[in-house]
Chains A and B, each alone.
Chain A
Amino acid sequence: MTKTSPQNSKRNFQLRQKYLHIFFSYTKRSSALHSLKSIVDIESLREVQKSIGTFVPTLKAEIEGCLFPADFKELCSTLVSFVRPFSLQSELIWLSSYLIDYQQELHWFLEKKERFEQKFLLGEFADCYDILEEVKGKIGVSLWYYESMFLLYEYWDKRKEGDLLMSACLEQTKDADTNHLQSLVYMLHLRSTTNISPYKFDDDLDSLYKQNKTLLHEDYYRYVLFRLNMFNNLRQEELSFNMMFESLSALVDRYLMAVNVIKASAVNEKLDDELIARARYLYSKTDDKELLPLLAKDSKRMKASYYNASFIGILDSFYGGDYQRTVQLCREYVKGDASLFDVLVVYCRSLVYLGQSYEGIYPLPNAPVNKLCSRIYSVLTEKDNHETVYSLYQMNKNLYGFHLAASMHVFVMKELNEPVEDRYRVYWTSCFDPDFATSAYSDPNAAVEYLNSYPDCHASLVCKATLARIEGSELQSGTISNNVVTPHNATVKMANEDYAAAYQLWSDFYDASEAWLPNRQKAVRNMVSCLHKSGQTGQAITLYVDCLLNDQAATLKVDTDAIIKSLQDNLYEGIRRNIDLAIFMGLNCKDGVDKSFILLEYCETKEVTLPSELIGKLDEPLDRQEVFFAILDDDETLRHYFNIPSLKERLNERLKIINYLVKLDTPNKEVYQQRQKEVEDALLVYRVSKNLNEGKIYANDQAILKYKLTEIDGLFKRFMRLFDMIVNEHSRIYVIDFKHSTVLYTQDGYDGEKVKSKTSISENGIYEVFYSLYDYVLDKFLYSEFGLVAYLSTRVRHGELESKLRPELAQRNLILSMKDNTYQDTSYWREQYNLSPAENTTVNTALAKFSRDFDAEVIDLIKERLQIYDREKKPKGLFNYTIDENELAHKTMEIGILTKDAGGSREEFCRLVIKWLWQKTEVCLTEIRHYIAGEFTEKINGLFETLKADLSTEALPVGHAYSFLQATIAEASSVIASRLKTIECWFNITGTKLDDVDIKQLTYQVCNNTRTTYNQIKVAGKPRIDGESFKIKSSYVLHYADMLSNLVANMIKHGVADETGTKAITLNFAISDKMVAMHFENKVETGQEEHLNQIFTEKLSSKASFFNAEGGSGIAKVNKILRADFQNSDNELKIWAENGTCVTEVKLFTENLRSNVQESACD
């Protein structure tokens, strides 16, 4: 035991006295405790705590809080008043001051944690369960415990148990005052689900916690981002809050957080001596190998266990090109340690170099380590690896608390082409890692010193290569594989701006990497970069397009943003307007105007006005043309192309391009045919849609479905799982409703009363999940760029409505203009009618009053009524999408059942929700029309009446002025009434709504469209339609068009031409009261009739094809439309061949097809 010197003893006494005095000067205990955090060495702090403890027996408990909570309720029950931390240092010292008393428990826990991760990755789930139970038994529950348990259930295929555990926790605490950990555990549960939407998770965190009311909230929000999404939020300026908020949790959580914040400081290059000392102190108490990289930054030599010879052996074997041996070494290694992500990557890379298909790294196929490896392998080998990267990112979120999470995050980010540094991962690698040298040190000498600390450094190939990287020197081929040497030397040459030589090396590297996609991606990226950086941007773009045509996947990592930025900065000067530039921009530029500009200038060089006129004029090979035209078929580009004068012409332009693409008959033909169908439908809708001057309410629901709702996959799957549990098993599931919860509720923020969280917990979990889905879809339906509000703003609210009314009054001199917020008198009436000053005052007073009231009513209509209802912000809003409990319960079940019956897809679910939203919109619009026609019109009429009264004979003498004023008011009143009727009609839905259509007109249009589609085939024969036409209901228009176009297309495609090359077809329609009878004929090969009849019989009788005809084409599909879509089983399709003629007969019963709608007031 060390003896304290008299000098130290005196100093300690003084310190104790000082802090005793300070401590007891505070009235609030939280502030008093906080004052002790200014003591910056652990021993002194402990001394002072001990002294105060003699006066305050509860002090130790108050400092420590609940270190080992027995259950969820206890974990969430600690309430404190937060005081803003002094610094990260002081928080670390504070933790260390009591952690020292529990080092054995921590040491034990860290071993269990490591063992849990290893067992988990190897798929030994029963052992994992035992470990967690053991941990709970010995040191209680923690955030770590719950997260691990949820994760285990998820991967053990016991998801239901996970849901029930979470639900039970919430039930336990639903009536208690809780801290923020309750909602945190809930979020950890979500993060551990395998079908989590990782991008949405990132976005949700941003939006969920952005409601900062106090500084405390702001800090808490940062903590949540760090706690739940650390690797995306490492760059925080101040990390001490994370420790403060975590300090309410169990000891193990506090410790794990402490380690992470020190590592985050290191990533931010703030790892100073003080922090290293803290890390060293913690290491001395716990032996936690997670701390080793922090110590390595400061040590010339680490202890032997840091140098993991097996790991370096694997890397050496890989660098030496002995991939067979590397595979074996990796397999051996993971049996004892699966936590090094690099080993898994090296394993997969070796398999690829060996040309082997994927084989598990561990014998148990379902082990998570195998799932990880198989995804890494797929990411490295798939041509389009988008979905696999997504699934790897999902898994990354699940395993966020694991040792390998940081490396995994960096791997995923690199695959996503997102900027990320290796420094993010090396501090989470707990053994000697050559990459640590290049990533953690800015000083090359220190980096070399680190490398040299490895005892076998000079014999190690990976160390040798790393040394060359640090020194910027080239490697000689020989012992190190060319797969390492070539890219290394090329990188060195690029750094030295020797782009020609670097290009050659990358080109060689590409040629040598035939079966190895990541190498080809790396090579193409750098070849393009070499050309671009050496000023040959045009060639860089041509190379990019060449690769796109021959090896598309290899272009995925090209830094297209850098090229586009330099092109934009130079306003595209000095670059040839050729097909390659148009392809490059069309594919990679996010700005529609720029894409359109390049296209325009390219067309100008070819002396054509419209892009479709390029068809047949280009000399480039067909594959290049195909890519060009396929990219060109894009609304975003063509919308800005001003030589196309209307939407109709734009659709026609697209159709011409697509027809050409279809005609090319390439492997993408089916995709083009699908597009062709979409554009044809759009044209049909265009031709038969209502006069859109009427309705102005619109949302592009198809775009919302296509682009905006993919991120709810995880939540949707959760909904369907809960739906099954609740409907089939009658389980009761508790969930948190974040919308109605306030986490860390306090008026005062810091240093106020004890901070509670008001969490709203619902026992009908499925309703909450359904509501979250509804809310998400609603948000996109209303507020996305395709949403209703964007259109409402530009079409109605922004001046449109006002300008429909006010000018009518201004023109008649009945409304005053404003200056400096005051209505300005008009001299018009005085000058016109020679009013006396008193009369003039009377008139202007009345007009000012009228102007004020009129403007106020219009503003109220625009700014208060024509708004999305919000109880607090817009209580008068008439677009009301709120749902009450009954409606929610009813719709949850209805949409749940319909979705399940339709196959349970997310798309179907979203479609049903959007359909419901349109129904709700209709209700709102009815309400709005009612308001405008009723209350609003009455108010405006009332204003006119008041104005008339204010300018009555009592106010003005009878004469010209009086008569004209009264007449003008009457006229204006009538004009405004008419304008209000027009405005009322704006509040109808456009775009989504088709008019009922004349069946003859529709038939001609469809036949004509279909013939246009096959304009390369000469067809003779026009439709002949007998009988009296009728209007077909709008809801059947597309079905009718679809059916007819399929039949006619089949006749054109399969009919036989005569000697002139013309295909003759007969299209006869007979309309009677009850049906439309169709009789079609076309020529077929003589002698083929029997064979054809066999096919027809098969197609018409096949039940399978009947039900699965969705999206297909031909006879089965027509049959499906006739029976299912027209909802009449009496409808009939007959088709047969005889005497060289194919006859098609359709009986379409029209009872439910006929429109019986009265013309509306708006028509």
Chain B
Amino acid sequence: MCKKVLVIEDNEAKLNKLRQFCADYWPGYQVECRSSYNTALSEVVHRGKFYDIILLDVSMNTYEVNGDASDGEQEPLAGANILRFMKLRKINVPVIVVTMYESFVDGIRIDRLDEGFRAKYPEFYKGYVYYNLKNEDWINKLNELMAGI
């Protein structure tokens, strides 16, 4: 049976890169995408167990952007909230955080978030990749983490 990866990402360019990455390096995976906190959480809670890997962004819109006022709200730590929900619902699907931010709301840095995730979610959190538009180092790191699952 085909393996499935869920990509949770609201930045279109990054999402395309991640899709391309999966196609190039993990061709056996079927890619499903969600681009808001709300739709991602719904997918994870309802169908999370059917995925083999989740690639998760940290900050994103609360709701799908429809060109109206829904865009008015951001969830700066949406990824962290999704991880918490997974823990509460015992959805133990491996998660790799893919972020292009160095720091988040209140100045929390990615390495501190990573430390917290490792401590709180050892069952399914597998680490993070720092994504950068300029270089492709992230590809190797993501490959490494995915191969380790």
Binding site for B on A (CB under 8 A): 571-572, 591-594, 597, 600, 639-640, 642-648, 685-687, 689, 691-693, 698, 785, 790-791, 793-795, 798-800, 802-804, 806-807, 810, 817-819, 855, 990-991
Of A686, A795, A800, A804, which is within 8 A of B69 by CB?
A: A686
Return B117 CB to nearest CB of chain A, in Å: 14
Return B126 CB to nearest CB of chain A, in Å: 20
Return B130 CB to nearest CB of chain A, in Å: 11
Of A591, A642, A647, A855, which is within 8 A of B73 by CB?
A: A647
Contact, CB under 8 Å: A794 / B62 = no
Q: In this assembly, does B136 line the interface, its C-beta being within 8 Å of a C-beta of chain A?
A: yes
- Of the listed residues B59, B72, B74, B100, the one surrounded by the most CB atoms of chain A closer than 10 A to its CB is B72
Q: In this assembly, does B143 line the interface, its C-beta being within 8 Å of a C-beta of chain A?
A: no
Known: A791-B74, A807-B13. A593 touches B81 (CB 8 A): yes
Known: A597-B88, A648-B69, A791-B74. A807 touches B133 (CB 8 A): yes
Contact, CB under 8 Å: B65 / A571 = no
- Fill in one digit per residue for B81-108: 1 if any A CB lies within 8 Å of its CB, else 0: 1001101111000000000110011100
Q: In this assembly, does B129 line the interface, its C-beta being within 8 Å of a C-beta of chain A?
A: no
Of B12, B71, B105, which is within 8 A of A790 by CB?
A: B105
- Docked pose: A1018 CA to B70 CA in angstroms: 32
Binding site for A on B (CB under 8 A): 11-14, 16-17, 38-39, 41-42, 45, 59, 62-76, 81, 84-85, 87-90, 100-101, 104-106, 132-137
Contact, CB under 8 Å: A647 / B135 = no
Q: Which residues of A contact B101 (CB under 8 A)?
A: 793, 798-799
Q: Which residues of A contact B71 (CB under 8 A)?
A: 692-693
Can you add 12 more A-B contacts, CB < 8 Å, to A645-B63, A646-B63? A639-B62, A642-B41, A643-B42, A645-B64, A647-B72, A691-B68, A785-B106, A790-B76, A799-B11, A803-B12, A990-B72, A991-B72
Of B13, B69, B76, B136, which is within 8 A of A647 by CB?
A: B69
Of B66, B88, B105, B136, which is within 8 A of A793 by CB?
A: B105
- Docked pose: A593 CA to B105 CA in angstroms: 17
Q: Which residues of A contact B87 (CB under 8 A)?
A: 571
Contact, CB under 8 Å: A691 / B134 = no
- Docked pose: A1117 CA to B147 CA in angstroms: 68
What are 25 A-B pairs with beta-carbon distances under 8 A?
A571-B88, A591-B84, A597-B85, A597-B88, A597-B89, A640-B41, A642-B39, A643-B42, A644-B38, A645-B39, A647-B62, A647-B73, A689-B69, A693-B67, A785-B105, A790-B74, A790-B105, A798-B101, A799-B14, A799-B101, A803-B11, A803-B133, A804-B13, A810-B133, A991-B72
Return A848 CB to nearest CB of chain B, in Å: 12
Q: Which residues of B contact A647 (CB under 8 A)?
A: 62-63, 69-70, 72-73
Contact, CB under 8 Å: A803 / B14 = yes
Which residue of the partner chain A has the closest CB to B102?
Answer: A798
Give 6 nearest A-B pairs by CB, closest first: A818-B135, A803-B13, A799-B100, A642-B41, A642-B42, A807-B13
Return A861 CB to nearest CB of chain B, in Å: 14
Q: Which residues of B contact A685 (CB under 8 A)?
A: 69
Q: Which residues of B contact A807 (CB under 8 A)?
A: 13, 16-17, 133
Q: Which residues of A contact B76 (CB under 8 A)?
A: 790, 793-794
- Docked pose: A990 CA to B72 CA in angstroms: 8
Known: A642-B41, A698-B72, A990-B72. A806 touches B59 (CB 8 A): no
Return A220 CB to nearest CB of chain B, in Å: 26
Contact, CB under 8 Å: B69 / A642 = no
- Docked pose: A810 CA to B75 CA in angstroms: 29
- Docked pose: A647 CA to B88 CA in angstroms: 25
- Of the listed residues A643, A686, A794, the one surrounded by the most CB atoms of chain B closer than 10 A to its CB is A794
Contact, CB under 8 Å: A692 / B38 = no
- Of the listed residues B16, B66, B133, the one surrounded by the most CB atoms of chain A closer than 10 A to its CB is B133
Which residue of the partner chain B has the closest CB to A803?
Answer: B13
Q: Which residues of B contact A795 (CB under 8 A)?
A: 74
- Docked pose: A810 CA to B20 CA in angstroms: 14
Contact, CB under 8 Å: A648 / B70 = yes
Q: Which residues of A contact B66 (CB under 8 A)?
A: 646
Which residue of the partner chain B has the closest CB to A651?
Answer: B69
Known: A799-B11, A803-B12. A646 touches B64 (CB 8 A): yes
Contact, CB under 8 Å: A817 / B41 = no
- Docked pose: A1120 CA to B3 CA in angstroms: 66
Contact, CB under 8 Å: B135 / A819 = yes
Q: Which residues of A contact B88 (CB under 8 A)?
A: 571-572, 593-594, 597
Known: A795-B74, A819-B136. A692 touches B11 (CB 8 A): no
Of A591, A597, A600, A798, which is within 8 A of B100 by CB?
A: A798
Return A273 CB to nearest CB of chain B, in Å: 44
Q: Which residues of B contact A691 (CB under 8 A)?
A: 67-68
